[in-house]
Structure 1
Amino acid sequence: MAKTEKNTIAQSDRLLVIACGMIAREVLAIKDQLGLDHLELTCLPAEFHFHPDRIAPAMDKAIEKARLEGYRNIFVGYGDCGTGGLLDRVLEMHGVERMAGPHCFAFYQGMEAYAKVADGDMMSFYMTDFLCRQFDAFFMKPLGLDRHPELIQDYFGNYERLIYLAQTDDPELDRVAEKAAALLGLAYERRATGYGDLAAGMSRATAHA
């Protein structure tokens, strides 16, 4: 688990963000934008997106390791992310807070905005900048769609739309999302979310550190 470069701030005064690998680039971008020099980042594997049962035990170990290394201030860059409350039990045990919301698709949009669209999005497949960059590695190859395109209907037949939640304005990622929607046979929608509540959550966490 790689950490950002250290500076002269004492380890005990730093804020360690333990995040999903799917949002690592975004956490570091926010760090640079807000000048959060005392923030460090370590990530759990992005593939846990497909294995939510692994998140809580891995987070437990990551927090224990961080405490042994001298970190007093820790913030978790996850929603519940399919753990069914198990992540919150671990965090409560350690006295650590996380991003509010069920998953990154919610806090990227902002929880208030997400609450208004959640019911209408039930049949939608979300993509983010990360998932656009990793579409082949995260979907095409693991699901075998590159070899067996006939499986697309089995996996995505119940979806109606592909909604690209765009953290940045990148035409290349737009093209990936549009092509993915066409490949999967879904209507396409792009929502420019930026970093949503992630920036505010990190800012609050650093203020309390």
Structure 2
Amino acid sequence: MRQRRIRNKVEAVSSEVAEGSLPVAERLLVIACGAIAREVLAVTKLNKLAGVDLTCLPAIWHVYPAKIAPAMREQISLAREKGYRRILIGYAECGTQGELDKICEEEGIERIEGPHCYAFFSGNNRFMASTETEFTAFYLTDLITRQFEAFVIEPLKLDKHPELRDMVFGNYTKVVYLAQTDDPALQEKARWAADYLGLEYEYRFTGYGDLEPALQRAAAVSSAPSL
């Protein structure tokens, strides 16, 4: 079940849905974590949000959050040079210790609400309520399940040093798969991941959670018909 490695580079994806093309100044650019790229595109298509473009920073940077804010500043600067006036940061707080919020304040733009993607996929209010009793859970999303080797096994060197498994995960009791899609193959992979870590397994279908209304709000102006 070895997955391909995550490419450590910025990728740009056009997600225009409606016919025709809005000028860059009227389009919305989402600068997102690569871990939610599929979900951003899916929500855009599902809701027929016109005038939305997507650029992603490497998904693996969730392991190295200090890299996120400097790269975000660079991408925002490049976007301004290209003529984008409307930008959404496609991250929650994500361990940046307030740096993304500083960028939002300085640039007059917004990010997705919440501490991390596990929260906004679950629904921030629901997730925060669950953390009071669920502090020994290790969470997976579709992306982390799909790339479990690249995101968990390889960075922690569990493939080379399996004895580290119990040292790292000894205080966890279960794996909770927060599923964005109803995919039997991913459910099987998530169950395999739980077995690999020696933990109990729980499946929860979240869909896109708070990500969907966040994108709907951000794209509202671009989605409005021209007069």
TM range (shorter): over 0.9
Contact kept? 2:28, 2:86, Cα under 8 Å: yes
Q: Give the aligned residue type for 1:86.
A: E
- Please state how far the C-alpha of 1:121 moved relative to its aligned partner: 2.1
Residue 111 of structure 1 deviates from its aligned partner by 1.2
| Structure 2: runs of 5 or more not aligned | 1-10, 223-227
Q: Does 1:2 align with 2:15?
A: no
Q: Which residue of the other structure, out of 37, 42, 47, is the alignment partner of 1:24?
A: 37
1:45 paired to 2:58: yes
Stretch moving more, 122-131 or 137-146: 137-146
Q: How many residues align?
A: 209
Structure 2 distance, partners of 1:34, 1:161, is 34
Q: Secondary structure at the match of 2:163?
A: helix
Question: Superposition pairs for residues 172-183 of structure 1, below 5 Å?
Answer: 172-183=185-196
2:21–2:51: 8 Å Cα contact kept in structure 1?
no
**Identity between Structure 1 and Structure 2 (%):** 50
Moved over 3 A (4+): none
Letter in 2 for 1:180: A
Name the residue aligned to 2:78: 65
For 1:3 and 1:11, the matched residues in 2 are separated by 14
Question: What residue in structure 1 maps to residue 5 of structure 2?
Answer: none
Q: Does 1:134 align with 2:147?
A: yes
Paired residue for 2:99, among 86, 90, 102? 86
With over 3 angstroms needed to count, the CA separation of the structure-2 counterparts of 1:5 and 1:176, relative to structure 1, is closer
The answer to which structure has the higher helix fraction is: 1
Letter in 1 for 2:14: T
* 1:165 paired to 2:178: yes
Choose 144-153 or 57-66, whichever is displaced more.
Answer: 144-153
Closer/same/farther in 2, CA of residues 169 and 55 from structure 1, 3 Å limit: same
Per-residue CA deviations over 1:88-133 (Å, capped at 9, x if unaligned) read: 0012111110011000000000112112202222111100000011
Which AA in structure 2 matches 1:4?
S
TM-score for the superposition, normalised by structure 1: 0.96
Q: What runs of 5+ residues in structure 1 fail to find an aligned partner?
A: none
